[in-house]
Amino acid sequence: MEGLNAVVLLSGGLDSATCLAIAKDRGFAVHAVSFRYGQRHNGELERAEWLAESMSAASHRVIDIDLAQLGGSALVDPNIAVPKADRVEDIGDEIPVTYVPARNTIFLSYALAVAETSNATDIFIGVNALDYSGYPDCRPEFIAAFEAMARLATKAGVGDGPELNIHTPLIDLTKGQIIAEGLRLGVDYSQTLSCYDPVAAVDSQSGVQPCGHCDACLLRAKGFAENGMSDPSIRE
* pTM for this prediction: 0.94
Assess whether pLDDT exceeds 70 at residue 3: no
pLDDT digits 0-9 by tens, 166-225: 999 999 999 999 999 999 999 999 999 999 999 876 554 457 889 999 999 999 999 999
pLDDT digit string (tens) for 137-170?
A: 999 999 999 999 999 988 877 777 788 999 999 9
Q: How far is CA 105 from the centre of its chain?
A: 13
Inter-residue contact 53 to 45 (CB < 8 Å): no
Tell me, what's the pLDDT at 91?
A: 86
Asked whether the predicted pLDDT for residue 61 surpasses 80, the reply is yes
Residue 1 has pLDDT above 80, yes or no: no
Nearest to 170 by CA among 138, 208, 214, 210: 138
pLDDT band at 130 (very low <50, low <70, confident <90, very high): confident
Q: What integer pLDDT is reported at residue 202 of this predicted model?
A: 57
What is the number of alpha carbons within 13 Å of residue 78 lying toward its C-beta?
A: 4
Residue ranges with strand state E in the chain: 5-9, 29-36, 59-64, 120-124, 165-167, 199-200, 208-209
